[in-house]
Amino acid sequence: MADMEETLMLGVEGLKKTILHGGMGDMPRFITGTKVTFHFRTQLCDDERTVIDDSKVVGTPMEVVIGNMFKLEIWETLLCSMRINEVAEFWCDTTHTGLYPLVSKSMRRIAEGKDAVEWQIHTCGMANMFAYHTLGYPDLDELMKEPKPLFFILELIKVQQPNEYNRESWALNDQERLNKVPMLHGQGNKLFKQGLFEEATEKYKEAIVCLKNIQSKEKAWEAPWLKLEKMGHTLTLNYCQCLLRMAEYYEVIEHTSDIINQHPGVMKAYYLRAKAHIEVWNEAEARQDYSRVLDLDPGMKKLVKRDLAILTTRMEEKNQEDKTTYKGMFEPARGGGLP
C-alpha cells in the first residue's frame, strides 16, 4: 500500500512519521489520564542505524500516561497519532531528543532490576544528577553532551481510559500525588509499629518519589520547594529508621549524610547516623554526631547518654575480642615452633 511508505508530517516542526504497518480500528481517544502501552526502539541517524534501546530485547513494553508530564513530551505527540497495532517510524530532530538520555537511564535501571528513582531519594533533585557529569552509561553520556536527531520506532499495543486501570503513583497528576503522600506516610508508620519494616520502606519510598516528582518542577530553594523538601526529609528519616531495624547501616549513613550536607540543622539525621555508626564500629564518627545532636537539641541528653553508654560497652567488648583474636594469631601452637 502506498500510504504505508509515505512520510507523513504531524504538523510539528522537526518531526517526520512513516507508517511501517497500518493499525486497526478507529483512532483511540487520548484524553488526559489515558494509559498507553507500547514497544519502542531508539536508533541513531547514522549509516548503521545504531540501536540505543529496544523494549522488545528487554521483553517489557513501555507505559506512559497522557498529560502526566512525562519527561519526553514528544512521545505523547507521536503516540496520539497512532492506531492500535500500528507500527510507525518517527524521525525527531534535536529539539525533541535532548532529554532522551535521562529517560533512557530510568528505563535501563528498571530493566536491570534497579530502582529508577533511587537517586531522587537522597539528592535534592535533577540538578544534582548533572553535578556528577555522568549517567552511568557511556553512550547516554555522549548523547547528553551532544544531542542528536533520533529515530523512534513505536508499536502501539494498548490504550486504556482513566477508568479502565488502577492508577499507581506514577500515573497521578501533581495534586493527586500530593494528596496521596499523607496516606502513604500513615500506612508506613502503621507497618513500622507492626514490625513490618520492609513493607514500611515501600510506603515511605513511594511517598518520597511522589514528592520528588512534584519538587522537580519547583524552583530550588524557594518556599514551595523548601516545604516539599521538609516533607521529604521526614519521610526519608522514617525510611532510615526502618533500614536501621533491617541492619542496612551503610545505607542509613548515606541517606542521612545527604540530608546533613544540604541542611546541617536536621537533628534527627545526626541521631540516626550516630546509631548507624555505632553498629559499624565508627566510634569517633558516632561521638561527633551525638555531640551535634546535643548542640541542636539539649533535650536529647538522656537518650544520648544511654546510647553513649552502649557505645562504650560495645567498644570495650570489641577491643577485648580483638585482643583475644590477635593473641591467638601470634602465639605459637603448643608443642610447636616452626616445622
What's the confidence (pLDDT) of residue 135? 77
Residue 82: which H helix or E strand, with range?
Answer: none
Per-residue pLDDT tens for 48-65?
A: 999 999 999 888 888 888
Does 235 lie in the same domain as 150?
no
Residue 97 lies in a domain: yes
Exposed e or buried b for every residue in 162-197, given b needs 16+ CB within 10 A? Answer: eeebebeebbbbeeebbebbeebbebbeebbeeeeb
Residue 257 lies in a domain: yes
pLDDT above 70 coverage of the chain, percent = 83
Residue 333 lies in a domain: no
- What range does the domain containing 226 cover? 173-305
User: How far, in Å, are 67, 79, 267 from residue 72 at the CA level?
Assistant: 11, 12, 39
What 8-state DSSP symbol labels residue 127?
H
Residue 284 lies in a domain: yes
Does 177 lie in the same domain as 159?
no
Does 52 lie in the same domain as 151?
yes
Does 277 lie in the same domain as 193?
yes
Does 201 lie in the same domain as 140?
no
What's the confidence (pLDDT) of residue 214? 85
What's the confidence (pLDDT) of residue 114? 60
Does 281 lie in the same domain as 198?
yes
Residue 191 lies in a domain: yes
Overall domain count for the chain: 2
CATH number at residue 116: 3.10.50.40
> Residue 299 is which amino acid?
G
Residue 152 has pLDDT above 80, yes or no: yes
Residue 327 lies in a domain: no
Does 205 lie in the same domain as 157?
no
The model carries a pTM of 0.51
What's the confidence (pLDDT) of residue 266? 93
CATH number at residue 296: 1.25.40.10
| Cβ atoms 101, 144 nearer than 8 A | yes
- Cβ neighbors of 12 (< 8 A, separation 6 or more) are 74, 77
Does 156 lie in the same domain as 37?
yes
Does 107 lie in the same domain as 220?
no
What's the confidence (pLDDT) of residue 326? 67
Does 68 lie in the same domain as 186?
no
Q: How far is Cα 109 from Cα 118, in angstroms, rounded to an integer?
A: 10
Per-residue pLDDT tens for 64-123?
A: 888 765 678 889 999 999 999 999 999 999 989 988 998 888 888 777 766 544 433 333
- CA-wise closest residue to 28 among 88, 86, 90: 86
Residue 329 lies in a domain: no
Residue 119 lies in a domain: yes
Residue 151 has pLDDT above 90, yes or no: yes
Does 279 lie in the same domain as 225?
yes
Does 217 lie in the same domain as 93?
no
